Amino acid sequence: MRKSTVKKKKKKNTHKKRKDMSSFFFRLTQIAMLCILIGACWIFYQSGYIQTVIQLHQEAQDVMEASSIRDFQSNQRGEVYDADGSLIALLKNDKNIIYLPDAEIPQQVKDAFVSIEDKRFYKHHGFDPFAILRAAQSLISKNSITQGGSTITQQLARNIYLTHTVKWERKVEEIFIAIALERKYSKEELLEFYINNIYFSNGYYGIQAASQGYFSKDADDLTLSETAFLCGIPNSPGSYDPLIHIENTLKRRDLILQNMKEEKMISDAEYEQALAETITLNPSKITFTRTWAHIYIYECATRALMEATGEDYDTCREKLYTDGYRVYTSINLDTQKLLQDSVDQELSNYNTLNSNGTYALQASAVCIDNDTGLVTAMVGGRTQEGILPDYNRAFMSFRQPGSSIKPLIVYTPALERGYTASSTVMDAKEEDGPSNSSDRYAGAISLRTAVEQSKNTVAHRLFREITPEVGLSYLLDMNFASVKEEDYTLASALGGFTAGASSLEMTAGYAAIANEGVYRQPTCITMITDMQGNIITIPEQGNRQVYESDAAHEMTNILEGVLIRGTAKGKAIPDMPCAGKTGTTNDNIDGWFVGYSSYYTTGIWVGFDSPRGNSALAGSTYPVNIWHSFMTELHDGLPSKPLND
């Protein structure tokens, strides 16, 4: 018994010693590993990596603090519609996204992307180490990667906030941003952002643009096979470009369909049917003719957004091309073409070119609908092959208006101050006063005759009487933009301005007379909405009583005589009451005619971009001929309607 007890004690002691030894070595190993870890951390710290990681984490937090939904909803392509509701232009940017909110993205599109790009999308929190392991395993076993290591959220972070440079720093920051994105936005929002911003090759961003671009249909009209086909492109837009490597795209489609079947997103029958479907591309061939009106549309739309949002011009101009607006206009393309053809035909025999290759003799024209006060057509120059309609003279160019300014600042104001059409006025040359263009003087004549014959002497006398301050105040009330301090002289009565007026301003001024003296700010924008149809703005023109209605009526009655007996004799619209006024500046540098019926007001300017005289140029030649040709055809079929009706 004693020996046995001793042996047991010896065994127990031996076992204890071994256990203590093992524990010692285990602790020693732990200490060694801890030392190694501390050493590694120290080396890592000393090398600056840890500071870099901390900095990247802070940068990611800063990015997220400034993040907003607009980051993902910018670069949307906008649309422009004419008066008939037809699409006439696209507002393009670098990406031209046609944004679809979550509710409008087909479920099969969402399923396709999740199945191929991020199977655990709804489970992870932005970063998925399992996906990296799967990608590595796939690379080893199949020598290819069938699913990437980056989650959908990481890809979104990279596409929106980072570059595609392959560096460890970018990858670390990408993970930090992805994790922060998951905290800030829901899974549904993140998937919506991703699907709308991903690149589908050939300039198409987002599923809707890709669907329209490759199949000429909306995303919700895609078949399952077409959906899988398109969703395969973003993984490698170059390799899976369907216009160049369609066989690669089809293989990728098959893989996506296989994944969707394995994930129970589609049935076996749906899989087989989609796999057997023949993909037939139908690339979009939509093209638009760019007119002079387009640049005016963009200007008016920018101004309308400024009024609606209170933001500055540059911001609104950028948003016009990136926020996916639908811009509805009053531009009538048939009227636009008619006005352009009238200008081109009348000036067709004058083909002298400037040194830059453009026609030397130019024109601008504006047509306003008198019922609405909206611009229905605008021409900023002659049609010329190879010359883009960018510099729109109709609202960008300011020229001396000559005698066409007289009704606006001399005669209608005089009618408000007791003069009538039959009032006697004196046509006589004064010392230091202007001459008449004919250099003939009739003595005592009626005010009506003075207007019809465009007597400079009479306009000069009356302007002195009412004063330049009063006369020019009417232009200011009608938003003429280039009235200068130097213009407050008697020379302005004859259109002798420092800068002048635009065709748009002159036409809107005459439209005010036609509208019983009520001025409406000209524009061509009727409404702007977002892509979902929510109204952003319906611009208000504002009605401003600039002239007394009785004075405007009488001025109209007087101006009718200009086309019957005066400087535009023989140029009236057949069987349609109309009124207007010619204008010619000194040395025949600028020629004008602005006139109206009850239906429309149209203003025409003709001249040289670099001002110079031409003996054939006068308000009674090119301008009135263009006006007559255009207005005659425009009123064809319209019932005769009296002025001042």
Q: Which residues are catalytic?
A: 117, 403
Please, what is the Cα angle at 103 between 275 and 67, to 5 degrees? 110
Bridging pattern class, strands 78-81 and 326-329: parallel
- Return the number of other C-beta atoms located less than 10 Å from residue 419's C-beta: 20
DSSP for residue 343: H
Task: Give the 3-state secondary structure of residue 323.
Answer: strand
DSSP 164-182: ----HHHHHHHHHHHHHHH
Structure tokens at 415: 């009618």
Structure tokens at 152: 């959908």
Q: Torsions phi, psi of 37, nearest 5? A: -65, -45
* Residue type (1 letter), 50: I
CA 415, CA 465: separation in Å to the nearest integer?
A: 13
Q: By the 8 A CB rule, do 541 and 373 touch?
A: yes
Terminal-to-terminal C-alpha distance of the chain:
137
Question: Closest Cα to residue 481, out of 514, 459, 509?
Answer: 509
Separate counts of helices (H) and strands (E) for the chain: 24, 14
CA 207, CA 228: separation in Å to the nearest integer?
A: 11
Cα 336 to Cα 82, 366, 382, 443, 630: the distances in Å are 11, 9, 13, 44, 10
Question: Closest Cα to residue 627, out of 339, 410, 387, 402?
Answer: 339
Point out which residues pair with 427 in neighbouring strands. Answer: 443
Detail the DSSP E strand segments found in 286-422: 326-329, 361-369, 375-379
Question: What residue spans of 81-200 are helical by DSSP H?
Answer: 107-117, 129-142, 152-161, 168-184, 187-197
Point out which residues pair with 328 in neighbouring strands. Answer: 81, 527
Which residue is it, tokens 């004058």?
350
Cα 208 to Cα 16, 147, 214, 638: the distances in Å are 74, 24, 10, 43
Torsion over CA of 533, 534, 536 and 542, rounded to 10 degrees? 80
CA 576, CA 628: separation in Å to the nearest integer?
A: 12
